[in-house]
A and B are shown apart, each in its own frame.
Chain A
Amino acid sequence: GAVVSQHPSRVICKSGTSVKIECRSLDFQATTMFWYRQFPKQSLMLMATSNEGSKATYEQGVEKDKFLINHASLTLSTLTVTSAHPEDSSFYICSAKRTSGGATDTQYFGPGTRLTVL
């Protein structure tokens, strides 16, 4: 299998606080993980590409100081939304690509995290 988990699945926070979302590949190693944002009834928007042991690559228009990404191991990447505001409310989804031992082009997605900022 290729299972990716995310934690938490839902989070509600007050404006100005920071929220950390974890993405784990449970049964494979992932050198590369991705973070997406999805608004209701819209497609997935790539925010950043996370590579284990190096700095994340952010897409144009995504604030790196706002969305902190850490990929400290081959099975874990974290996204921290700093000083969250209501406009950051969205569905955040991570995905991971296998390092080896299978289809290395396929991105396997986590179940998503619903963030609501009050």
Chain B
Amino acid sequence: QQQVKQSPQSLIVQKGGISIINCAYENTAFDYFPWYQQFPGKGPALLIAIRPDVSEKKEGRFTISFNKSAKQFSLHIMDSQPGDSATYFCAASNNNNDMRFGAGTRLTVKP
């Protein structure tokens, strides 16, 4: 059972544009929602994370928007750069160590 659904599977954005990746979850017990960035041949690196008590969190060019009632959250990358080209994974977890990952979005930022 896929508990976290991520879309799109791949995304191509022009340099300077906004990249938007969406995720939806099913388990209402999830209370922690991180986003990870992964480059080929490397491990995932934590990008930004949010808890359901806030609707938005911004760190530099990266923003998470969270809609608790809809059980959806999204990552926005402003002023996308070619160096942002990577695979992005959303995830959701609760205190019981049960972290579930989305299928991933391969982002390509064209110069």
Residues in A lying within 8 Å of B, measured CB to CB:
4, 6, 32, 34, 41-44, 46, 49, 91, 93, 95, 97, 103, 105-112, 114
Q: Flag the segment in B14-22, B37-45, B55-63 that touches A.
A: B37-45
CB-based contact B49/A106 at 8 Å: yes
Q: Tell whether, in the assembled complex, residue B34 and residue A112 are in contact, meaning their CB atoms are under 8 Å apart.
A: no
Chain-A contact segment, one of B66-74, B75-83, B95-103 = B95-103
**What total of chain B residues lie within 8 Å of the partner, measured CB to CB?**
20
Q: Distance (Å) between the CB of A35 and the closest chain B CB?
A: 12
Report the separation of the CA atoms of residues A45 and B109 in the bound assembly, to the nearest whole angstrom.
Answer: 27
**B93 near A42 (CB under 8 angstroms)?**
no
Please determine whether A109 and B45 come into contact, CB atoms closer than 8 angstroms: yes
| Cα distance, A110 to B39, chains bound together (Å) | 13
Give the residue name and chain of the A residue nearest to B2 (CB). A43
Residues of B within 8 A of A6 (CB): 43
Between-chain CB contacts (< 8 Å), 13 pairs: A32-B97, A42-B103, A43-B101, A43-B104, A44-B101, A46-B99, A93-B44, A105-B32, A105-B49, A105-B95, A109-B43, A111-B42, A112-B42
Name the A residues within 8 Å of B95 (CB-CB).
105
A111, B97: Cα distance in complex, Å:
20
